[in-house]
Amino acid sequence: MSDVILLNGMAVEALIGVYDWERVAPRPLMLDLALSVDLSAAARSDDVQDTVDYAAVAACVTAVCAREQPQLLEALAGRICSALLAEFGAIDALTLTVHKPGILPNVNDVAIRLTRSRLSD
């Protein structure tokens, strides 16, 4: 599949972290999302029903980040991937990068990237 929907620089907040000082308030995260979707029908029809609703994807991601309170970025990313694959049947696969900026001294950004598909999830 070569068709991809990209949502880059999605700003969310999540209560996430291993240390006690990280568990007192939500912190900002940035997400980049690549969704593998067959866009041929939408390209022909110009009908939103033939694609994935970007706003609904963003709302799903935001809801997972607000609801979940894991310690690890890996766990949060896994839960986001699972939720997206469960809610949006048109998504064949996805790659999610979660950035946690400013968490380490002398490191601008820490990030993890997960790739999931219907076959692997």
**Active-site residue set:** 100
Q: What is the predicted pLDDT for the residue at 120?
A: 58
CA 115/CA 120 separation, integer angstroms: 9
Q: What is the predicted pLDDT for the residue at 1?
A: 57
What SS3 state is found at 21? helix
CA 82/CA 40 separation, integer angstroms: 25
pLDDT digits (tens, 9 = 90+) for 55-88: 999 999 999 999 999 999 999 999 999 999 999 9
CA distances (Å), 57 to each of 5, 11, 36, in order? 11, 13, 13
Q: Is 0.85 topped by the overall pTM? A: yes
- Round the CA-based radius of gyration of the chain to a whole number and report it: 15
Q: What is the predicted pLDDT for the residue at 2?
A: 83
- Widest CA span in the chain: 52
More confident residue, 12 or 120: 12
Q: Domains of the chain by range and CATH? A: 4-117 (3.30.1130.10)
pLDDT digits (tens, 9 = 90+) for 107-117: 999 999 999 99
CB 65 within 8 A of CB 76: yes
Q: Which residue has the tokens 């601008």?
A: 108
